[in-house]
């Protein structure tokens, strides 16, 4: 996973200890969708199932602190690499305190979420919409991804924004073929997307809920990488049982 620093998710201590710099960084909310939202669909390099719009669950054995017990919504996937947002790591920083001058932030009771270790000074948004909007990328069903301040302001003006808007600090990024290699290694479990999970009342429980709801889960991932390069065509069934670490 790409990272500009070894930091993990935001905690009350880390945010409060660096409140001034954190708030200043939050004010850098972009006015347009950044490079990671560019068209990077590309061909599915493993044939299936990596693609934008799916959930990546960190495998129980993955102990990287940046991704331990995380659920990632993959936003882009293609020849240029991949990017996504961790949806189950809320911080203790309300949006109204991070961006007090942004109209409508007081309507959102949900905190800012830690989206990943890359560019944590960048604010990114997932929101629900019945129609496409310029400056936003459709990710899953009626869920769109943007870094537009205007779109965020408009979304906050809709009724009950807590059920329609999530704001993230940073994102998770992978270089070309990096996510494929991690997938082959068994670092990630791929689950079919559930739009409702993105806006769950308590997203911090998503990872355990996914596993606990299935006493055992059969997943598939490509076989060994021949020659250390191309992804192998063979699919190997693997089972994670409840409670496995």
Residue 72 resides in a domain: yes
Predicted local confidence at residue 146, as pLDDT: 94
Residue 3 resides in a domain: no
What is the chain's pLDDT, residue by residue, as a tens digit (245 residues)?
A: 553 332 333 333 333 333 333 333 333 333 334 444 433 333 333 345 799 999 999 998 898 999 999 999 999 999 999 999 999 999 999 988 888 888 888 888 889 999 999 999 899 999 999 999 999 999 999 999 999 999 999 999 988 899 999 999 999 999 999 999 999 999 999 887 888 899 998 999 999 988 776 654 444 444 444 344 433 333 333 333 333 33
Predicted local confidence at residue 215, as pLDDT: 53
- Measured CA to CA, the distance from residue 209 to residue 104 in angstroms comes to 32
Residue 29 resides in a domain: yes
Residue 21 resides in a domain: yes
Residue 219 resides in a domain: no
- Measured CA to CA, the distance from residue 49 to residue 235 in angstroms comes to 11
Domain of 162 in residue numbering reads as 12-206
Write out pLDDT tens, residues 97-117.
Answer: 888 888 888 888 889 999 999
Q: Residue 133 belongs to a domain with what CATH number?
A: 3.40.1740.10
Peptide bond into 49 cis (omega under 30): yes
Residue 27 resides in a domain: yes
Residue 49 resides in a domain: yes
Predicted local confidence at residue 180, as pLDDT: 94
CA of residue 135 relative to chain centroid, distance: 19
Positions of E strands within the chain: 55-58, 71-78, 81-86, 90-94, 111-114, 118-128, 136-140, 143-146, 165-174, 188-191, 216-222, 235-241
Nearest by Cα to 200 from 5, 33, 96, 55: 55
Domain count across the chain:
1
Predicted local confidence at residue 198, as pLDDT: 93
Maximum alpha-carbon separation in the chain: 55
CB-CB contact of 198 with 86 (8 Å): no
Predicted local confidence at residue 10, as pLDDT: 34
Nearest by Cα to 127 from 110, 109, 146: 146
CB-CB contact of 234 with 223 (8 Å): yes
């Amino acid at each position: 996973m790409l990272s500009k620093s070894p930091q993990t998710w935001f905690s009350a201590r880390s945010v409060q200890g660096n409140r001034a710099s954190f708030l200043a960084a939050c004010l850098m909310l972009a006015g347009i969708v950044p490079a990671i939202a560019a068209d990077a669909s590309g061909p599915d390099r493993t044939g299936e199932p990596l693609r934008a719009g799916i959930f990546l669950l960190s495998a129980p054995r993955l102990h990287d602190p940046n991704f331990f017990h995380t659920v990632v919504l993959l936003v882009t996937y293609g020849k240029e690499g991949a990017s996504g947002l961790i949806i189950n790591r809320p911080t203790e920083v309300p949006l109204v305190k991070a961006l007090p001058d942004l109209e409508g932030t007081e309507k959102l009771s949900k905190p800012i979420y830690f989206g990943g270790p890359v560019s944590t000074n960048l604010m990114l948004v997932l929101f629900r919409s019945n129609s496409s909007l310029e400056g936003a990328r459709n990710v899953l069903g009626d869920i769109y991804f943007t870094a537009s301040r205007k779109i965020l302001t408009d979304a906050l003006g809709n009724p009950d924004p807590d059920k329609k808007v999530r704001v993230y600090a940073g994102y998770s990024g992978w270089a070309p073929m990096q996510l494929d290699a991690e997938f082959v290694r068994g670092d990630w479990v791929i689950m079919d997307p559930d739009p409702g999970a993105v806006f769950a009342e308590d997203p911090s429980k998503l990872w355990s809920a996914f596993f606990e709801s299935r006493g055992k889960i059969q997943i598939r991932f490509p076989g060994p990488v021949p020659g250390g390069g191309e992804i192998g065509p063979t699919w190997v069934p693997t089972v994670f049982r409840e409670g496995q670490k």
